[in-house]
Amino acid sequence: MTRIESDKRIINKTADKIFNFLSNFNNFETLMPEKVVDWVSDEKTCSFTISGLASLGMRIVETKNNSFIKIVDEGKTPFKFEFLIYIVDLNNSSEVQLIFDADLNSMLKMIAVKPLKNFLNMLLDELEKSNI
C-alpha cells in the first residue's frame, strides 16, 4: 500500500461540526474541484468521475464519534484504497488530517502521489473555507 498524507491542518471549526459534515457524502460535493463531475451521493456512498482520469466510488464503513471516518473503495475502481479522516478536538477548533492508502502499481505510484497529496490538501482548504 502507498500512503499519502495531507498536511495536518488547524481548522477553526469544532470537531463535531467537521465530523458531522464529513460523515455525510452529500456534503462532499461542495469540497470537490471542477474536474470532479457526475457526482452522485447519499449519506454513506458516493460515485464520481475525475475528468480525463477515472471513475471512483466510495463508502463510509467506520466512524468514531467526532474523531475518525474510514472510507473504502466501492464498485469498479482502478485500484483498492482506504481514505482515513482524523479529527482532533482542540475546543473551538480542530486538527484535521486526511490519509489515503492506495494499492498503486509502481507506474501509477510515480504519477499519482503528488497530485493525490495536492488533492488532499485542497480538500482541507475547501473545508476551512466552508460554511459548516
Tens of pLDDT along 41-78?
999 999 998 877 778 899 999 999 999 999 999 988 88
**pLDDT band with cut points at 50, 70 and 90 for residue 39:** very high
Secondary structure percentages of the chain, helix, strand, coil, to 5: 30, 40, 30
pTM, rounded to two decimals: 0.93
pLDDT digits (tens, 9 = 90+) for 13-23: 999 999 999 99
- Integer Cα distance of 27 and 77 in angstroms: 22
Domains observed in the chain:
2-129 (3.30.530.20)
- Integer Cα distance of 86 and 96 in angstroms: 6
